[in-house]
Amino acid sequence: MATSPAMYAELNPLPRLLMGPGPVNADPRVLRAMSAPLLGQFDPQFREYMRETMALYRQVFETRNEWTLVVDGTARSAIEAAMVSVVEPGDRVLVGNFGRFGQLQIEIARRVGAEVRVVEAPWGAVLAPEQVEAALRQHRPKLFAVCQGETSTTMLQPLAELGRLCGRYDALFQVDATASLGGVPLPAEAWGVDCVTAGLQKCLAGPPGAAPLTISDRMADLVFRRRHIEEGLRPAGYRPPATVRIGSNYFDLAMVMDYWGPQGINHHTEATTMLYAARESARIFLAEGATSVFARHALAGRAVAAGVAALGLKVFGDAANRIPHITGVCVPDGVDGERVRARMLSDFGVEIGSAFGPLKGKIWRVGTMGYNARKDAVLVTLAALEAALAAERVTCPRGAGVDAAAAVYRDAERGP
Ligand SMILES: Cc1ncc(COP(=O)(O)O)c(C=O)c1O
């Protein structure tokens, strides 16, 4: 018997204020850019937008690296593209691990066939340079990979010293800045970082689905040595090089770079709408100015921390190394953190994050990133948290969270 096709309602989600660890609400200007008409991937206008996007991200990453582009995929696609393109099976990779996303780098490096070594810090702390130096000296890796902002633990790894160490031990230095690019400084060139990868969905105020990436010339040279033209595009008489072919077609950065570069050799079909989003995210960031954006993120994070402290809650993690714009809040003993989150969502439309691994059920994560690094977003979130706690019979001083956060903003507006 024929069944009629299922028909669903028009997509019309309730509005949400996304104050978790990402994605956050995209800047409306980014969403508007995404509704611009599609163009062919080799339309001169579109190629110009691609070149502009490369130029904009050179400024965001603070680098002159020629190979600064956007990988089509979520943030991990750029991590994977960089690793699979530069690391050959059997190469040694050292990963600095202090949370879930360090573990992601370990997993990706293993899948690529690397001989993986790990230097670790507990969840809630970061790596000490001496630790990293000892591991670099012992293992002599081809590449050292670490997160700048470890979203799972809300910790921020200082990088400048690690860049110097990688230079001293001749290791390529790869940084996952998904949770930090656009929220805190990351001058790739000055800090000796060979590869930085990110996503749009946090401090860059865009949606998930595009992964900005920059790689240094020396890393690009290693990738290009493995350049093998795709089989269906090879000219007559082509002889592939004797190097190990990159083990992924989609993430073959040599082919991706040939596509983005002046030759425009066909590879994937660039995700037109995400390119528009990535371009607009970078444009908005640079138009406001990095200093102002970083200050806005730090201020919002300070206001959240003051607010939760005034509610009698504890902020999680080593205070000296917290990501300014993602605050870990300890769930009070005896409170069901998931019920609090669910009530904030159902009663206020406010989403905050839970946590993974050893921190599951122990902390909430409150993000104040990108478009949501704003006073009104912070105050609404604290009001919702207070009300949800009250409903769980946690006694906290009514109104104190909002008052304390508002005072942080007042002081900042007054200036020094
Ligand atoms: C630090 C970090 N790295 C990598 C990822 C993976 O990003 P995506 O989910 O966009 O692939 C995330 C996601 O939240 C992240 O926070």
- With CA atoms as reference, report the closest residue to 258 among 346, 92, 249: 249
377-381, Cβ contacts within 8 angstroms, sequence gap of 24 or more: 377/17, 377/19, 377/300, 378/300, 378/303, 378/304, 378/307, 378/405, 378/409, 379/405, 379/406, 380/17, 380/348, 380/350, 381/17, 381/19, 381/304, 381/344, 381/350, 381/352
Q: What is the pLDDT of residues 7-34, one digit of tens each?
A: 899 999 999 999 999 999 999 999 999 9
214 sits in the region (left: phi over 0; alpha: psi -120 to 50; else beta) called beta
Protein residue with its CA nearest to atom 2 in ligand 1:
178
Read off the pLDDT of each residue in 200-226 and give the average, rounded to a whole number. Answer: 98
Structure-token pair, residue 38 = 């599609």
- Nearest ligand 1 atom, CA 151: 16
In Å, how far are 147, 227, 233, 406 from 65, measured between CA atoms?
Answer: 20, 19, 27, 41
Q: Which residues line ligand 1 (CB under 6 A)?
A: 22, 74-76, 101, 104, 147, 149, 151, 176, 178-179, 199, 208
CATH 3.40.50.970 fits 28-286, yes or no: no
pLDDT at 2: 59
Q: Give the three-state DSSP class for 215.
A: strand
pLDDT at 416: 72
Most informative mutation of 101, 146, 148, 174 for ligand 1 (most atoms within 8 A of CB): 101
Most informative mutation of 74, 106, 157, 178 for ligand 1 (most atoms within 8 A of CB): 178
Q: What is the pLDDT of residues 166-179, one digit of tens each?
A: 999 999 999 999 99
d(CA 169, CA 408) in angstroms, rounded, equals 44
d(CA 55, CA 59) in angstroms, rounded, equals 7
CATH 3.40.50.410 fits 290-414, yes or no: no
CATH 3.40.640.10 residue ranges for the chain: 28-286
3: confidence class by pLDDT, cuts 50, 70, 90: low
Structure-token pair, residue 378 = 């912070």
Tell me which of 150 and 416 has the higher pLDDT. 150
Q: Give the three-state DSSP class for 371.
A: helix
pLDDT at 1: 55
Sign of the CA dihedral running 66, 72, 78, 82: negative
Question: What residue spans of 205-289 are helical by DSSP H?
Answer: 217-225, 253-260, 272-288
- Tell me what percent of the residues of the chain surpass a pLDDT of 90: 96
Answer yes or no: are the C-beta atoms of 278 and 210 closer than 8 Å: yes
Q: Which of 27-31, 194-198, 387-391, 396-400 has the lowest mean pLDDT?
A: 396-400
Answer yes or no: are the C-beta atoms of 328 and 363 closer than 8 Å: yes
pLDDT at 395: 87
194 has pLDDT over 80: yes
Q: What is the pLDDT of residues 273-294, one digit of tens each?
A: 999 999 999 999 999 999 999 9
Tell me which of 7 and 58 has the higher pLDDT. 58
363 CA → ligand 1 middle, Å: 19
- Nearest ligand 1 atom, CA 147: 1
φ/ψ of residue 95, rounded to 5: -115, 135
φ/ψ of residue 94, rounded to 5: -105, 130
Whole-model pTM over 0.95 = yes
d(CA 179, CA 227) in angstroms, rounded, equals 31
51 has pLDDT over 70: yes
CATH 3.90.1150.10 residue ranges for the chain: 290-414
Q: What is the pLDDT of residues 72-91, one digit of tens each?
A: 999 999 999 999 999 999 99
Protein residue with its CA nearest to atom 15 in ligand 1:
178
